Amino acid sequence: MTQHTARLSLIGLAVALSACSVIEEGKIDYKSAKKGSTLEVPPDLTQLTKDTRYTASPDRSVSAVALQAGQAQVPTVERAAPLQVGDVEIMRDGDKRWLVVNRPVDQLWEPTREFWLDHGFNLAQEKSDLGIIETEWAENRAKLPQDIIRSTLGKVFDSLYSTSERDRFRTRLERRADGKTEIYITHRGMEEVYSNTNKDSTIWQPRPADPELETEFLRRLMIKLGTSEEQSRALVASNKAVAAQPTAAAQIATVNGLPALQLSEPFDRAWRRVGVALDRTGFTVEDRDRSKGLYFVRYVPPSADSTEKKKGWFSGWFSSKPENKPGQYQIAVRTAGEKTQVTVLDAKGQPETTQAAQRIVRVIADDLK
């Protein structure tokens, strides 16, 4: 019996022996991995940079922050049933929710950063010029069974108890032309599963994003920004009761011989949905230019051994070192008649002709379903 199997057996025995074992549904109690460690993920979902600040390359003429003045002519984000308390309102579009706060980004950066630290997360990225904060991978300890065996052994061997899931969150603060700030929180999940029928090794694989978990953290962030507990719960409950707009599926098409996505919706909504998809699927967003409809991203094509099996108790905790060289791309979101079209460009803004374009289009389309 391997160490990993022994650990799972011990946890399973503890649950079986305790008739009053209860997982408190809805409770959040996160604990990040040891600082400096990250969870290995498929290369195309890997964050490639750990820099605390990002400096735009000299040849890039427009940065996200520099767009403040230039965005005056850009239509504001459409309002999908907003509900407001004070200067904070919550918006909804399908399963996506976000906050609109009547404060500039520089007044919201530090409270948002403190918010994640207060909830037990280490931070993997802090890019104040882009308004992006991303946490390290962490587990929700509230999902562990709270039984008498864990309360006894857990005090001595707490590491024996571990969930098979890890989560990380990205917060994006986007400046609007009217001086307000939009705040998005997106979730990425991984789960540990046995890699064979012998159950002697495990691998980590992606699991779907959890919109309800995103909403809960938005609600808690509202409290950090001055909304009361009761008000935040009432706003979220009312927001859920509002009929959401139907979400248009992303259709993969071929345009001029190259892959593209077509969305039957206006630019504003498509821009928002594509941005959330990039956040949820883990692209490294280096810059964005809404006036031109461009996201500047990095992407790592998957390698043949991206599902390499790892053994041992701490199989999921090791540094991610993708062997493939990361590529720089531009995701173009452009109006095409009554639809919006999403295409992949290379670093110089020319149509991308490699297989990477097909993979990127597929990854985005899968999230937009």
Which residue in the block uniquely carries the two structure tokens 């791309």? 329
pLDDT value at residue 60? 35
> Comparing C-alpha atoms, which of 167, 161, 116, 120 is closest to residue 139?
167
Q: What angle do CA 103, 77, 184 make, to 5 degrees?
A: 60
Q: Output b/e per residue, 95-120; b: 16+ Cβ within 10 A.
A: ebbbbbbeeebeebbeebeebbeebb
In the chain, where the domains are located: 28-367
344-366 pLDDT, tens digit each? 999 999 999 999 999 999 999 99
Report how far residue 255's alpha carbon sits from residue 344's, in angstroms, rounded to the nearest whole number.
11
Which residue in the block uniquely carries the two structure tokens 């630290």? 117
Report how far residue 311's alpha carbon sits from residue 165's, in angstroms, rounded to the nearest whole number.
16
pLDDT value at residue 85? 80
Helix (H/G/I), strand (E/B), else coil: 178: coil
pLDDT along the chain (369 residues), means of 10: 45 38 53 50 40 34 40 42 78 89 96 95 93 92 58 50 82 93 94 87 88 94 94 85 61 92 92 92 88 91 45 38 71 92 95 92 90
pLDDT value at residue 144? 61
CB 168 within 8 A of CB 151: no
pLDDT value at residue 338? 84
Sign of the Cα torsion 127, 340, 342, 362 reads positive
Q: What is the CA radius of gyration of the chain?
A: 22
pLDDT value at residue 242? 55
